């Protein structure tokens, strides 16, 4: 019997996560989902955590992200996997380590512990990191309206990018050069995900 697959896509702004996650989910009849905010409760949490006009401490930001994730895991991801359907998530726990840990400076060990509380045993079968430089981000960004993270300076995004790369090495993720053409990125990802037990 094949097990359901839980695949997570990670990366900084406009690295191509949503494009690839939706495509892979459709190809494997998996549920496409995203964080933060893909539940009724999550939509409210997303509003506050992304609203650049609402001052927020790094720890508060982390805990809202983890609240969204805890609810998302229990109300969407786990029930879907338990029913035998695979799940592809656009961002998951690695985003919190990268953004609130490496980006904001919240203690990584504490974040990992809190993350364990939020997700329980629900860990991805595979995490795919789409890595792009900030130069690529600048070229691709097509809007001026900025959320709390987009409004951060270059050094913040560079810390998040480097954090992702460090985590990818430590935790054995699949890293893809997101600066390649959309078709080339898709080809590299498809080659890897074809080996998963969909
Ligand atoms: N490999 C690629 N080459 C060029 N453009 C791309 C590539 N992948 C995605 N794009 C384009 O870049 C933009 C951002 O892509 P996408 O929304 O998939 O990124 P994202 O990582 O989900 O971004 P966000 O973090 O803002 O949600 C879109 O306009 C998309 O069409
Ligand atoms: Mg996206």
Dist CA 115 CA 94 (whole Å): 9
User: Counting atoms of ligand 1 from 1, which one is nearest the CA of 183?
Assistant: 1
What pLDDT is recorded for position 173? 98
Domain containing residue 130: CATH number:
3.40.50.300
**pLDDT digit string, tens, across residues 32-58:** 999 999 999 999 999 999 999 999 999
Does pLDDT of 3 surpass 80? no
What is the C-alpha to C-alpha distance for residues 45 and 183, in angstroms, rounded to an integer?
34
- Reported residue count of the chain is 198
Cβ 16 under 6 angstroms from ligand 1: yes
pLDDT one-digit tens code per residue, 95-112 = 999 999 999 999 999 999
CB of residue 159 inside a 6 A radius of ligand 1: no
- Is there a domain that residue 104 lies in? yes
Is residue 147 pLDDT above 90, yes or no?
Answer: yes
Percent of the chain beyond pLDDT 70? 99
Domain of residue 60, residue span: 6-193
In a domain, 13, yes or no: yes
Ligand 1 neighbour 13 (Cβ under 6 A): yes
Cα angle 74, 113, 121 (rounded to 5 degrees) comes to 35
* Residue 2 reports pLDDT greater than 70: no
Cα 121 to ligand 2 centre (Å): 25
For residues 194 and 161, give the distance between their C-alpha atoms in angstroms, rounded to a whole number.
Answer: 27
Average pLDDT over residues 127-154: 93
Counted domains in the chain: 1
């Amino acid at each position: 019997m094949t097990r359901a697959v839980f695949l997570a896509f990670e990366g900084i702004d406009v690295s191509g996560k949503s494009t690839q996650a939706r495509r892979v989910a459709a190809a494997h009849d998996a549920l496409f989902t995203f964080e933060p905010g893909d539940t009724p409760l999550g939509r409210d949490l997303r509003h506050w955590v992304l609203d650049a006009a609402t001052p927020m401490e790094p720890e508060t930001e982390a805990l809202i992200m983890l609240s969204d994730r805890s609810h998302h895991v229990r109300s969407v991801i786990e029930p879907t996997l338990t029913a035998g359907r695979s799940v592809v998530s656009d961002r998951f726990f690695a985003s919190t380590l990268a953004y609130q840990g490496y980006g904001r400076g919240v203690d990584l060990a504490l974040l990992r512990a809190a993350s364990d509380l939020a997700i329980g045993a629900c860990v991805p079968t595979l995490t795919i990191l789409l890595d792009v430089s900030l130069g690529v981000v600048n070229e691709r960004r097509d809007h001026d309206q900025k959320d709390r993270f987009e409004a951060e300076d270059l050094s913040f995004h560079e810390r998040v990018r480097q954090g992702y790369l460090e985590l990818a090495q430590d935790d054995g993720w699949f890293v893809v050069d997101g600066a390649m053409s959309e078709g080339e990125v898709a080809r590299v990802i498809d080659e890897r995900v074809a080996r998963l037990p969909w």
